[in-house]
Amino acid sequence: MKKYPVKVGFFDSGIGGLSILEAFRERCPEVETEYFADTPHCPYGNRSAEEIIALSENCVRRLIDRGCGVIVVACNTATAAAIDYLRGKFATIPFVGIEPAIKPAALQSKSGVVAVLATRGTLNGRLYNETRERFASDVTVLAVVADEFVTLVENHSSLSTPEAENIVRRRIEPLLNAGADCIVLGCTHFPHLKSIIEKIVGSRAKVIDNSAAVARRIEQVIIDKVKNDTREKMRRLRREVPKVVRDETAHRLSLTLLEKCRGAKIVSCYRAFGSEIDLSEFFEKFDGEILVPERRGDSYFVDRAGEVDCWICPGLAFTRAGDRLGFGGGWYDRFLSAAKPGSRSFAVAYPFQIVDELPVGPLDIRLNEVLT
């Protein structure tokens, strides 16, 4: 089973976006991906915004037709021109765009001079200029159009030649002479030239490539989509289950939990926050101690983990069919490290079954029991 049951589509004007795809595959190798290179229309950098929007829409439709549920606009120029339009046109699809990493460059610069290598379309775009104004207003930004780098990368057989190094050097040396100590690769084609650029700059400047940061963002978007899709599925299933069935299964759930939690100290999110699953019979007959969270938030569960025998929570709080898709920020790992040995969590999801009974132990997360 894939950790994230979502197919992710990537597109670019050519092979440049492969730098983002490779970073994502390194981070999430189990996720299915699809890449579309719009090579016949490469490069996008010298095209009008209207052309880029039309080309991007065509790329997105191809990826959706291939079953992609998350789309990465793996092109800075297309992000600048088209991502607002794409989000409006395909409202049910999450999009991840690419913009130059000017913020970390501004924060890391000691000379107060940073350089951004990009296409004209990116440098003229709203996202880049808003980011520059917001995060780089106190540094000098040298914005350089380097469309020839795109051509160089697309003709990838020539990257190892002296001619290729000379083309790159002609752009880089003036930036170093102007005092730039951070050079931002503002096009997904440019990380393919990173080794050449680093050879030229040596210790004089830091080369900033945001591929890894984009990969982390894609993973978070996938997690959010899976959670939202699962919650919607739960809502739909609840609407479809007749009341008589809900009542009968709630009765059965209560009896099951009474048996499993007899005399224990428990925490129940349901008692604090409510639920469409009516477990009132369990709470009325339970003979142990119930700790009711006084607040929402992860810290409560981590703080009390060492004293609790059983946890009764919504299914998404702990697991989704055995996958570690809990709340963010490493909360679940912190909970596991603090949990009382031998304690158990009962993740109750949907109005008709306990989805998972999870042993609380170091990363011991598996689907142990399904009560139907």
Could you give the residue numbers annotated as active site?
75, 187
Cα 6 to Cα 70: distance, rounded to the nearest angstrom = 7
Burial of 265 (0-12, 13-18, 19+ CB in 10 A): middle
Cα 124 to Cα 146: distance, rounded to the nearest angstrom = 14
Structure token pair of residue 303: 């703080």
- Residues in the chain, how many? 372
Cα 43 to Cα 45: distance, rounded to the nearest angstrom = 6
Q: Is the dihedral of CA 236, 242, 248, 251 positive or negative?
A: positive
Q: Is the dihedral of CA 293, 271, 223, 184 positive or negative?
A: negative
Q: Please list the residues that pair with 354 across neighbouring strands.
A: 348
Concatenated DSSP letters of 256-323: HHHHHTTT-EEEEHHHHH--SS--HHHHHH--SEEEPPSS-SHHHHHHHGGG-SEEEEEHHHH-BTTB
Residue 100: partners with Cβ closer than 8 Å, 6 or more residues away: 76, 116, 118, 122, 128, 131, 184, 185, 186, 210
What's the gap between Cα 10 and its chain centre? 14
Contact 197, 170 (CB under 8 A): no
